[in-house]
Amino acid sequence: MAPGAARRVLEGQRAAPGMVLGRARLQLAHQHAIDGTPLPADAIDGELARLDTALAATRAELAELRQRLHGALAHEAEPFLDTHALILDDPELRRGLIEMIRQGRYRAGAALVAQRDRLIEVFRRMDDPYLRAREDDLSHVIARVLDALERGGHQGERRIAARLGEILVTENPSPAELATLARHGLRGVIATAGSSYSHAAILARSLHLPMLCNVADAAAALADGDLVLLDGEDGLAIAHPAAQDLAALRQWQRAQAARPRPTPRPAVPARTRDGETVALYANAELPGEIAEARVLGAVGIGLYRTELLYLRQPALPGEDEQYAALRELMLALDGAPATLRTLDLGADKAIDTGLDMPAEDNPALGVRGVRHGLRHPAILRTQLRAMLRAAQLGPLRILLPMVTLAEEIAAVRAHAQACLAELHAEGVPAPQTLPPLGAMVEVPAAALGVRALLEHCDFLAIGTNDLTQYVLAADRNQGALAGLYDPRHPALLRLVARVAGAARRAGKPLSVCGEIAGDAGALPLLLALGIRELSMLPARIPAARAVVENADCTSLRAVVPRLLRATSRAEIEALLCKLQQP
Query: How much is the mean pLDDT over the chain?
Result: 83
**DSSP strands (E only) in 289-436:** 301-304, 338-341, 396-400
User: Is the confidence at residue 355, as pLDDT, over 60?
Assistant: yes
* Helix or strand holding residue 212 (H, E): strand 211-213
Q: Cα(first)–Cα(last) distance of the chain, in Å?
A: 38
Query: pLDDT category, 6, cuts 50, 70, 90?
Result: confident
Q: What is the pLDDT of residue 29?
A: 66
3-state secondary structure of 36: coil
**Once rounded to an integer, what is the mean pLDDT over residues 101-119?**
86
Q: Are 35 and 109 in contact (CB under 8 A)?
A: yes
**Once rounded to an integer, what is the mean pLDDT over residues 111-138?**
71
Q: What is the pLDDT of residue 569?
A: 80
Catalytic residue among 199, 372, 456, 489: 199
Query: pLDDT category, 265, cuts 50, 70, 90?
Result: low
Higher per-residue confidence, 194 vs 336: 336
Q: What is the pLDDT of residue 476?
A: 56
Over the stretch 52-90, which tens digit does the pLDDT of each residue have?
Answer: 888 888 888 777 766 655 544 555 556 666 667 777 777
Higher per-residue confidence, 510 vs 89: 510
Q: What is the pLDDT of residue 161?
A: 46
User: Is the confidence at residue 9, as pLDDT, over 50?
Assistant: yes
Query: pLDDT category, 132, cuts 50, 70, 90?
Result: low
Q: Are 239 and 7 in contact (CB under 8 A)?
A: yes
User: Is the confidence at residue 540, as pLDDT, over 70?
Assistant: yes
213 is known as an active-site residue: no
- DSSP conformational letter for 517: G
- For the chain, the structural domain boundaries read 8-29+161-258, 41-150, 270-580
Give the separation between CA 97 and CA 570, rounded to whole angstroms: 53
Listed residue (254, 210, 206) closest to 232, CA to CA: 210
- DSSP conformational letter for 39: P
**What share of the chain has pLDDT > 90, as a percent?**
33
Q: What is the pLDDT of residue 158?
A: 47
**Once rounded to an integer, what is the mean pLDDT over residues 28-55?**
84
Higher per-residue confidence, 86 vs 437: 437
Q: What is the pLDDT of residue 347?
A: 42
User: Is the confidence at residue 423, as pLDDT, over 70?
Assistant: yes
Q: Is 404 exposed, middle or buried (0-12, 13-18, 19+ CB in 10 A)?
A: middle
Higher per-residue confidence, 20 vs 334: 20
* Helix or strand holding residue 467 (H, E): helix 464-472
Over the stretch 372-420, which tens digit does the pLDDT of each residue have?
Answer: 999 999 999 999 999 999 998 889 999 999 999 999 999 999 999 999 9
* Helix or strand holding residue 166 (H, E): strand 166-170
Listed residue (181, 222, 225, 161) closest to 23, CA to CA: 225
Over the stretch 447-482, which tens digit does the pLDDT of each residue have?
Answer: 999 999 999 999 999 998 889 888 888 765 555 555
Q: What is the pLDDT of residue 383?
A: 96
User: Is the confidence at residue 1, as pLDDT, over 50?
Assistant: no
Phi/psi of residue 282, nearest 5 degrees: -120, 145
513 is known as an active-site residue: yes
Give the separation between CA 77 and CA 173, rounded to whole angstroms: 13
Q: What is the pLDDT of residue 529?
A: 93
Q: What is the pLDDT of residue 79?
A: 60
Listed residue (254, 198, 380) closest to 306, CA to CA: 380
Q: Is 154 exposed, middle or buried (0-12, 13-18, 19+ CB in 10 A)?
A: exposed
**Once rounded to an integer, what is the mean pLDDT over residues 532-554?**
92
Write down the CATH superfamily of domain 41-150: PtsI, HPr-binding domain (1.10.274.10)
Q: Are 225 and 21 in contact (CB under 8 A)?
A: no
Catalytic residue among 213, 419, 513, 553: 513
Q: What is the pLDDT of residue 281?
A: 96
Q: What is the pLDDT of residue 352?
A: 53
Give the separation between CA 347 and CA 357, rounded to whole angstroms: 5
Q: What is the pLDDT of residue 159?
A: 44
Q: What is the pLDDT of residue 80?
A: 61
Phi/psi of residue 338, nearest 5 degrees: -135, 140
- For every residue of 286-334, DSSP letters joined together read SHHHHHHHHHTT-SSEEEE--THHHHS-SSPP-HHHHHHHHHHHHHHHT
- Its sign, for the CA torsion 167, 173, 175, 176, is negative
Fold of the domain spanning 8-29+161-258: Glucose Oxidase; domain 1 (3.50.30)
Higher per-residue confidence, 361 vs 298: 298
CA geometry: angle 179, 123, 104, nearest 5 deg: 100
Fold of the domain spanning 270-580: TIM Barrel (3.20.20)
Q: What is the pLDDT of residue 474?
A: 72
User: Is the confidence at residue 19, as pLDDT, over 80?
Assistant: yes
User: Is the confidence at residue 264, as pLDDT, over 60?
Assistant: no
